[in-house]
Amino acid sequence: MPWNPSRLEQRNGRIDRKLQPSPEVFCHCFVYTQRPEDRVLRALVRKTETVRRELGSLAQVLEERLAQTIRVGIRHDEADKIAAEIEGADLDADQRATAEEELETARERQKLQQQIDLLRNRINDASKWIGLDMDQLRDTLSCSLELLGAEPLKQTATPANTPPRYVFPNLETRHGADPSWSATLDTLRALPDDGQTGYQWRKESPIRPVVFTAPEGIDDDIVQLHLQHRVVQRLLGRFLAQGFVHHDLSRACLAHTSDAIPRVVLLGRLSLYGAGAVRLHEEILTVTARWTEPASRRGTLTPYAREAEARTLELLESSLRPGAHADAPEVIAARLQSSMPRDIEELLPHLEKGGQEAQAEAEAKLKKRGDDEAESIRRVLDDQKRRVLTELGRYDQSQLLLSLDLEKRQLESNRRYWDKWLANVEGDLQREPGRVRQFYQVASFRIEPVGLAYLWPVTG
């Protein structure tokens, strides 16, 4: 056991360090009952822990004072005297106030950084949970704009070290524009100085460029698009609507591929809903198969296994890229169009089976999420309750009597609020976790086909 308190603290840091594989580390210090030096060491350990608990770490002045006390070692006949000096060593009032102020500032910075790291991790976890990819979101919005007959998003000049900027088309100016887009596009314009919106403001306030990644600071020249933005919600609504039923094949496409095998892909959607028709989960389902002429089929279309299905989806994505391959001939399109109803009928049972398996997996994940969030909110409420009780313990009646009138009124107001909060928190602890779990309970589900795609060989 080192005598110098600074070395003692350094030794503790070497033991409890990052990347330590063991959850617990045991340090043994052999103590002899009849050895006088051990009384000094015990006093030194107690003082070190007391100072660290009160100030966060050893103050430099106090550290030098303790080191000075045992600078020449420990003599048997002076052990009790040295131990008493260590126990009585302390900073004076001014030094202690300065140390506490400096350490409190450091603690606040450390707490703030911990909160930032925690929020950053939560954002990453949320993105993984919902499967959000900003590039895919941008492409989806561009596709929706093209379906409206407007220009897609186009990247524009972007300052260095800032997120890429994109020009959003003015949907009001195109032929046959929907007038209801005016209010939606207002969210992309700079706010008026006088608070008045209207024709003149729309004329003088152009649509600002949009970004999909949060900028480092506040930038009024751009608009960040996210899942809850009104523009995004409206454009995504086109893809969230119902797909097609057996008599309405409105979402079918034919694409050329470099592969030698004709293939068919049935795309479906699994939607899980909670109470009040809240959409809890949505997932795209696929069934892929080798396509054959209906007249030559010996049975029904047989879905591909996992590897062949992955290969088919890769071909589908590559074939839909702009300029990938020329359009398939009209004669091929006519043959496939006549085969659509039978192809859907044969593949639909496999889609429903895969949807049921995906449904069970999604419900298990939703239940776990509900349990995790319920436990999280319970911990938050318990922590708040503990803080309030601690704060109430500090403001006893003697403090109220010694306070100025203004301070006394404020403390009494705080106490009334805390007492009222404590009276309600027990009910919140009973209700809120259950309410969170109930939110993630699946009330209904829907499995539906949303599209059909044929992949035809360029040599076919």
**Beta pairing, strands 279-290 & 165-167:** unpaired
Please check whether residue 366 is in contact with residue 268, taking contact to mean a CB–CB distance below 8 angstroms.
no
Q: What percent of the chain has pLDDT over 70?
A: 74
**How is the beta sheet containing 252-257 ordered, strand by strand?**
252-257, 444-457, 263-273, 279-290
Tokens standing for residue 230: 């009104």
Do 108 and 154 fall into the same domain? Answer: no
Do 341 and 399 fall into the same domain? Answer: yes
Q: How far apart are CA 375 and CA 74, in angstroms?
A: 53
Where a domain ends, among 85, 113, 141? 113
For residue 298, the model assigns a pLDDT of 87
Do 455 and 339 fall into the same domain? Answer: yes
For residue 351, the model assigns a pLDDT of 95
For residue 229, the model assigns a pLDDT of 93
Do 232 and 252 fall into the same domain? Answer: no
Across residues 410-421, what is the average pLDDT?
A: 81
Across residues 173-194, what is the average pLDDT?
A: 83
For residue 261, the model assigns a pLDDT of 92
Please check whether residue 394 is in contact with residue 321, taking contact to mean a CB–CB distance below 8 angstroms.
no
Do 284 and 392 fall into the same domain? Answer: yes
In-domain check, residue 122 = no
* Number of folded domains that form the chain: 3
For residue 66, the model assigns a pLDDT of 59
Tell whether the model's pLDDT for residue 400 goes beyond 60.
Answer: no
For residue 55, the model assigns a pLDDT of 56
Least confident of 25-39, 140-154, 181-195, 375-389: 25-39
In-domain check, residue 120 = no
In-domain check, residue 84 = yes
Do 199 and 265 fall into the same domain? Answer: no
Least confident of 307-316, 322-331, 384-393, 437-446: 322-331
In-domain check, residue 125 = no
State pLDDT tens for residues 208-248.
999 998 888 888 889 999 988 999 999 988 777 766 655 56
Tell whether the model's pLDDT for residue 401 goes beyond 60.
Answer: no
Tell whether the model's pLDDT for residue 3 goes beyond 60.
Answer: no
282's CB contacts (< 8 A; 6+ apart) are 240, 269, 270, 271, 272
Please give the residue range of the domain that contains residue 188.
Answer: 131-237
In-domain check, residue 34 = yes
SS (H, E, C) the chain: CCCCHHHHHHHHHHHCCCCCCCCCCCCCCCCCCCCCHHHHHHHHHHHHHHHHHHHCCCCHHHHHHHHHHCCCCCCHHHHHHHHHHHHHCCCCHHHHHHHHHHHHHHHHHHHHHHHHHHHHHHHHHHHHHHCCCHHHHHHHHHHHHHHCCCCCCEEECCCCCCCCEEECCCCCCCCCCCCCHHHHHHHHECCCCCCCCCHHHHHHCCECCEECCCCCCCCCCCEECCCCCHHHHHHHHHHHCCCCCCCCCCCEEEEEECCCCCEEEEEEEEEEECHHHCEEEEEEEEEEEECCCHHHCCCCCCECCHHHHHHHHHHHHHHCCCCCCCCCCHHHHHHHHHHHHHHHHHHHHHHHHHHHHHHHHHHHHHHHHHHHHHHHHHHHHHHHHHHHHHHHHHCCHHHHHHCCHHHHHHHHHHHHHHHHHHHHHHHHHHHHHHHHHHHCCCCEEEEEEEEEEEEEECCC
State pLDDT tens for residues 302-346.
999 999 999 999 999 888 777 766 777 888 888 898 899 899 999
Do 90 and 231 fall into the same domain? Answer: no
Q: Please state whether the predicted TM-score (pTM) of the whole model is above 0.85.
A: no
Q: How far apart are CA 330 and CA 412, in angstroms?
A: 83
State pLDDT tens for residues 151-167.
999 999 988 888 999 99
Tell whether the model's pLDDT for residue 70 goes beyond 70.
Answer: no
Between 73 and 225, the higher pLDDT residue: 225
Tell whether the model's pLDDT for residue 367 goes beyond 90.
Answer: yes
Between 95 and 298, the higher pLDDT residue: 298
For residue 56, the model assigns a pLDDT of 55
Do 190 and 334 fall into the same domain? Answer: no
Where a domain ends, among 84, 113, 142? 113
For residue 147, the model assigns a pLDDT of 84
In-domain check, residue 118 = no
**Residue of 381, 380, 416 whose CA lies nearest to 395:** 416
Do 182 and 265 fall into the same domain? Answer: no
Do 147 and 291 fall into the same domain? Answer: no
Tell whether the model's pLDDT for residue 8 goes beyond 90.
Answer: no
Between 416 and 153, the higher pLDDT residue: 153
In-domain check, residue 242 = no
For residue 64, the model assigns a pLDDT of 59
Bridge partners (DSSP) of residue 446 are: 271
Where a domain ends, among 237, 260, 282? 237
The contacts found for 295-298 with CB under 8 angstroms, 24 or more apart, are none
Tell whether the model's pLDDT for residue 69 goes beyond 70.
Answer: no
Do 317 and 423 fall into the same domain? Answer: yes
In-domain check, residue 344 = yes
Between 402 and 148, the higher pLDDT residue: 148
In the chain, the N- to C-terminal Cα span, in Å, equals 83
Between 400 and 380, the higher pLDDT residue: 380
Tell whether the model's pLDDT for residue 453 goes beyond 90.
Answer: yes
Cα 100 to Cα 10, 13, 72, 248: the distances in Å are 21, 22, 31, 74
Do 451 and 331 fall into the same domain? Answer: yes
b vs e for 148-181, b when ≥16 Cβ sit within 10 Å of the residue's Cβ?
Answer: bebebbeeeeeeeeebebbebbbbeeeeeeeeeb
